[in-house]
Amino acid sequence: MAMIIMKFLLLSLFLNLQVILSENMPTTASQEAGYGYGGEIGGFLRIDLYKFACPEAEAIIFSWVNKAVMEDSRMAASLLRLHFHDCFVNGCDASVLLDDTESFVGEKTAAPNLNSLRGFEIIDAIKAELESVCPQTVSCADILAIAARDSVLLSGGPGWDVQMGRKDSFTASKAAANNNIPGPNSTVPILIAKFQNLGLDLRNMVALSGAHTMGKARCSTFSARLQDTSIHSPLDFIESLQQLCSGSDSGTTLAHLDLVTPATFDNQYYVNLISGEGLLPSDQALITGDDRTRELVQTYANDLFTFFEDFKNSMLKMGNIGVATGIDGEIRTNCRTIN
């Protein structure tokens, strides 16, 4: 626990230093494009947005995420996944958190999310405390982005400056969730296309796939792997999956996405792919489906630092997709419903 708290304090010191430095640095072309420390993103997102409006915000979010991960290490992957599934549907606007209403069907019952997404109660708890400390100040979309960063950090991964200022959406889209979120049986061309539709390139796609170094998946999501007898997958690995998923309740049985270090954010995921032990067909396809993705997998498997840097930069890029600002969004008081 002391080590975790110290890690957060060091990260906070780093973030504050970056803010101080940024205030005295000239604006560069990269900052104008949306990647500068402390700079505005399209005139809206800033890393220091809550510095005065709600200085306790990041500490409150970190405290809740830390508690959740200490109680259930899998929650780190779940909170990270919430941010992914939010950003892939009409941008990072917390639409994934909305419950169904009379005017729209939310995203929680979409195929990629139903009986799969979790962690909503953690976001509810974070929002409730933030509303008591800083009413209508911190958006649900920003909570998701910060919680995702903290989940990675608490699991041994890199930290980064989360750019803030997203507004929450007024609606959600089950249809867009079904269409935009890559499925577990996606081929490399499908993965590339879905990421490119959001402005994310091939390198972003392979780096962000590394999020599967944590968490679990149901047998139903990797059933195609159970028949895989190719040279790319060791027979004992396939047999272990077949045995795990042979029960009558196999539809809900869970398997680790990374059998070696399932609760640690590292580059073991890529090592597994090289040895043919990627769990989801869409994971193993990064080795078998395209020379470019295979080369990146090998790079990340051999170089943890490069993976961390590319993952961090890709998360920042993803976090800026379709951001709702101004009158296009609001700051919800309850993440499940519009105000």
Residue 70 CA to residue 337 CA, distance in Å, equals 28
The verdict on whether residue 266 carries a ligand-binding annotation is yes
The verdict on whether residue 325 carries a ligand-binding annotation is no
Residue 50 CA to residue 276 CA, distance in Å, equals 45
Q: 293-325 as b/e, with b when 16 or more CB fall inside 10 Å?
A: bbebbebbbeeeeebbebbbebbbbbbbbbbbe
The verdict on whether residue 249 carries a ligand-binding annotation is no
Beta-bridge mates of residue 254: 218
Residue 144 CA to residue 36 CA, distance in Å, equals 21
Single out the residue of 170, 90, 131 nearest to residue 330, CA to CA: 170
Q: Note if 85 is an active site residue.
A: yes
Count Cα atoms within 13 angstroms, Cβ side, for 268. 17
The verdict on whether residue 283 carries a ligand-binding annotation is no
The verdict on whether residue 109 carries a ligand-binding annotation is no
The verdict on whether residue 236 carries a ligand-binding annotation is no
The verdict on whether residue 107 carries a ligand-binding annotation is yes
Residue 134 CA to residue 193 CA, distance in Å, equals 40
The verdict on whether residue 89 carries a ligand-binding annotation is yes
The verdict on whether residue 93 carries a ligand-binding annotation is yes
The verdict on whether residue 26 carries a ligand-binding annotation is no
Residue 16 CA to residue 88 CA, distance in Å, equals 30
The H or E element containing residue 255 is strand 254-256
The verdict on whether residue 258 carries a ligand-binding annotation is yes
The verdict on whether residue 171 carries a ligand-binding annotation is no
DSSP code string of 19-44:
HHHHTTS---HHHHHT-STT--BTTT
| Residue of 83, 85, 232, 256 marked active site | 85
Annotated binding site for Ca(2+): 86, 89, 91, 93, 95, 107, 213, 258, 261, 266
Binding residues for substrate: 182
As annotated, the binding site for heme b includes 212
Question: Binding site membership: which residues?
Answer: 86, 89, 91, 93, 95, 107, 182, 212-213, 258, 261, 266
- Residues that are catalytic: 85
